[in-house]
Amino acid sequence: MKLTLHVWRQKNSTAPGQFVRYEANDVNTHMSFLEMLDVVNEELILKGEEPIAFDHDCREGICGTCGSMVNGLAHGGHKGATLCQLHMRFFKDGDEVWLEPWRARAFPVIRDLVVDRGALDRIVASGGYVSVPTGSAPDGNAVAVPKPDADRSMDAACCIGCGACVAACPNAAVALFLGAKITHLGSLPQGQPERMDRALKMVARARQEVFGYCTNIGECEAACPKEIKLDVIARTNRDFLRASFTRSPEAKQVAG
């Protein structure tokens, strides 16, 4: 199978970028999308050209490192799949494929298809933890957690921080990621002591990172490779509003 690739090439965050055309020949339908890019890069290196820079790590849909827009869709648009789980059997011989990085002000381009997603890490660091002293490892059944709460927390914890929700959102909002992190900890008994402060701090940090505002378009849910639902955004809004009314002015100031 042969493909024509149009890849966004950009040396750094300040340099101008452009689409460059490449021919991908002898593409095996069993390859993953990243394996196809590996083969293209090997040919570029043999020609003495710069290989295409793209993020990757586990290549099993777990780490959230890979990610780019394929034909205008995050991760290629296949439900419940990351870019490394996109296989070449979904393409046809002679297809033209357009590849570009996540487009968001909060995700500056580092090089080619690689963007800086450190803003997501800073949001988590601002309030995504629990301070409950556990001592030694407790018995697994020592703290009773209702199954609906446990299921809600685990579903939210599936978020891998790939940034597809931001890239797919016309507003470049981070609401789905933020909601997943707040719901993950806020649904469990261990996460209750900081629940209100966490909502204030993480929302404040998200605003500092120049993400857009959520207008409930729903593109984030459609693009999420872990199929996290919009419900987590509603929960974040409830926690944030409750914290805004119940926390003291001093606590709000500390939270940002």
Q: Can you give the pTM of this predicted structure?
A: 0.89
pLDDT surpasses 60 at 82: yes
pLDDT surpasses 60 at 248: no
Query: Phi/psi at 32 (nearest 5 deg)?
Result: -80, 165
pLDDT surpasses 50 at 250: no
Residue 254, CB-side half-sphere exposure with 13 Å CA sphere: 11
pLDDT surpasses 70 at 134: no
Q: What is the pLDDT of residues 9-44, one digit of tens each?
A: 999 988 999 999 999 998 999 999 999 999 999 999
CATH number for the domain whose boundaries are 3-111: 3.10.20.30
- Return the pLDDT at 83: 95
- Return the pLDDT at 253: 55
Three-state SS letters, the chain? CCEEEEEEECCCCCCCCEEEEEEECCCCCCCEHHHHHHHHHHHHHHCCCCCCCCCCCCCCCCCCCCCCEECCEECCCCCCCCHHHCEHHHCCCCCEEEEECCCCCCCCEEECCEECCHHHHHHHHHHCCCCCCCCCCCCCCCCCCCHHHHHHHHHHHCCCCCCHHHHHCCCCECHHHHHHHHHHHHCCHHHCCCHHHHHHHHHHHHHHCCCECCCCCCHHHHHCCCCCCCHHHHHHHHHHHHHHHHCCHHHHHHHC
What are the sequence ranges of the domains in the chain? 3-111, 118-255
- Return the pLDDT at 13: 87
d(CA 81, CA 225): 5
pLDDT surpasses 60 at 151: yes
Q: What is the pLDDT of residues 159-175, one digit of tens each?
A: 999 999 999 999 999 99
d(CA 220, CA 43): 35
- Return the pLDDT at 249: 58
The sign one gets for the Cα dihedral 180, 181, 182, 185 is positive
pLDDT surpasses 60 at 133: yes
pLDDT surpasses 60 at 251: no
Check if the beta carbon of residue 182 is closer than 8 Å to that of residue 202. yes
- Return the pLDDT at 16: 92
Query: Phi/psi at 184 (nearest 5 deg)?
Result: -55, -50
pLDDT surpasses 90 at 143: no
pLDDT surpasses 80 at 130: no
Sort strands 69-70 and 96-100 into parallel, antiparallel or unpaired.
antiparallel
> Out of 56-70, 129-143, 226-240, which region has the weakest mean confidence (pLDDT)?
129-143
In this structure, which CATH number among 1.10.1060.10, 2.70.70.10, 1.10.10.10, 1.10.1840.10 belongs to the domain 118-255? 1.10.1060.10
Give the whole-number percent of the chain exceeding pLDDT 70.
Answer: 92
pLDDT surpasses 60 at 212: yes
